[in-house]
């Protein structure tokens, strides 16, 4: 059974940093492209970024609002995906989901809430 479990969310002040983790199981993580999607309270879905598998180059792509501030990485030895978030803004407040990425998003974690507030 595919499982994606996010952790690391919490309350952070504007300008601060936070690192989210996503522990994956039930599939061959090293072969998977992975994405992060977020959802602000009461709002719609917003793609954050993607990391390809190392065999496909391991490259990353980001949405414009987070480019230069957020970094996606992976540790295939630990089956874990990361989202390093720096220079956080109040508008980054959202539930962040870790997702398997086949161009469509078939498996989603339960999400972790990040609140950016002073």
Partner 1 sequence: DIQMTQSPSSLSASVGDRVTITCRASQSISSYLNWYQQKPGKAPKLLIYAASSLQSGVPSRFSGSGSGTDFTLTISSLQPEDFATYYCQQSYSTITFGPGTRLEIK
Provide the binding-site residues for partner 1, judged by CB under 8 A. 35, 44-47, 50, 61, 63-64, 97, 102-106, 108-111
Cβ of residue 94: shortest distance to partner 1, in angstroms?
13
User: Do 95 and 112 form a contact (C-beta atoms < 8 A)?
Assistant: yes
Q: Which of 36, 24, 20, 15 is nearest to 117 (CA)?
A: 15
Cβ of residue 102: shortest distance to partner 1, in angstroms?
8
Q: Which is nearer to partner 1, 8 or 111 (CB)?
A: 111
Cβ of residue 88: shortest distance to partner 1, in angstroms?
22
The rounded distance, in Å, linking the Cα atoms of 90 and 106 is: 29
The rounded distance, in Å, linking the Cα atoms of 30 and 1 is: 16
Of the CA atoms within 13 Å of residue 27, those in its CB half-sphere come to: 18
Q: Which is nearer to partner 1, 11 or 45 (CB)?
A: 45
Cβ of residue 10: shortest distance to partner 1, in angstroms?
19
Q: Which is nearer to partner 1, 18 or 112 (CB)?
A: 112
Specify the DSSP element, H or E, that contains 62.
strand 60-62
Q: Which is nearer to partner 1, 25 or 110 (CB)?
A: 110
């Amino acid at each position: 059974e595919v499982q994606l479990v996010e952790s690391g969310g919490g309350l952070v002040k504007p300008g601060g940093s936070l690192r989210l983790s996503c522990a994956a199981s039930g599939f061959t993580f090293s072969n998977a492209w992975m994405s992060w999607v977020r959802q602000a309270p009461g709002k719609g879905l917003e793609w954050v970024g993607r990391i390809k598998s190392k065999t496909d180059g391991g490259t990353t792509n980001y949405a414009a609002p987070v480019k230069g501030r957020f970094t996606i990485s992976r540790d295939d030895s630990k089956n874990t995906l990361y989202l390093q978030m720096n220079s956080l803004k109040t508008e980054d407040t959202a539930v962040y989901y870790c997702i398997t990425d086949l161009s469509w998003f078939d498996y989603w974690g339960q999400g972790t809430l990040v609140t950016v507030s002073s």
